Structure 1
Amino acid sequence: MSIASRDQDRARELGAKHSFARVAESYDAILEDREVDAVYIPLVNTLHREWTLRALAAGKHVLCEKPLAMNAAEAEEMANAAQHEGLHLMEAFMYRFHPRIRAFVEDVHDPLYVEARFGFGLTRPLDYRLQSSLGGGALLDVGCYTVSAARWILGEPDEVFAKFRRDASSEDAVDMTVTALLHFPAGATASVWASFESPEEQGLMVVERERAQHLELPFSSRDSDNSYQLMVESFAASVFEDRPVEIPPSESVANMKVLDQIREAAKGSP
Structure 2
Amino acid sequence: MSDHVVGSKSFAAVAINCASKAGEWIMSKVGAHEVLREKMSPHDLVTEVDKGSEKLIRSLIMMNFPNHSFLGEEGVEPGPEASAKALEDVRDAEYLWIVDPVDGTTNFVHGFPYFAVSIALAHHGEVILGVVYDPWKDELFIAEKGKGAYVRGRRMNVSSEPTLRDSLVATGFPPEHATALPRNLAQLQLLAPKVRSIRSSGSAALHLAYVAAGRLSAYWEVGPNSWDLAAGALLVQESGGRIGDQDGTPYHLGVRNVLATNGYIHDELQAELAKA
**Could you say whether these structures have the same fold, taking a TM-score greater than 0.5 normalized by the shorter chain as the test?**
no
Rg comparison, structure with higher value: 1
Q: Which has the higher contact order (CA 8 A, sep 6+)?
A: 1
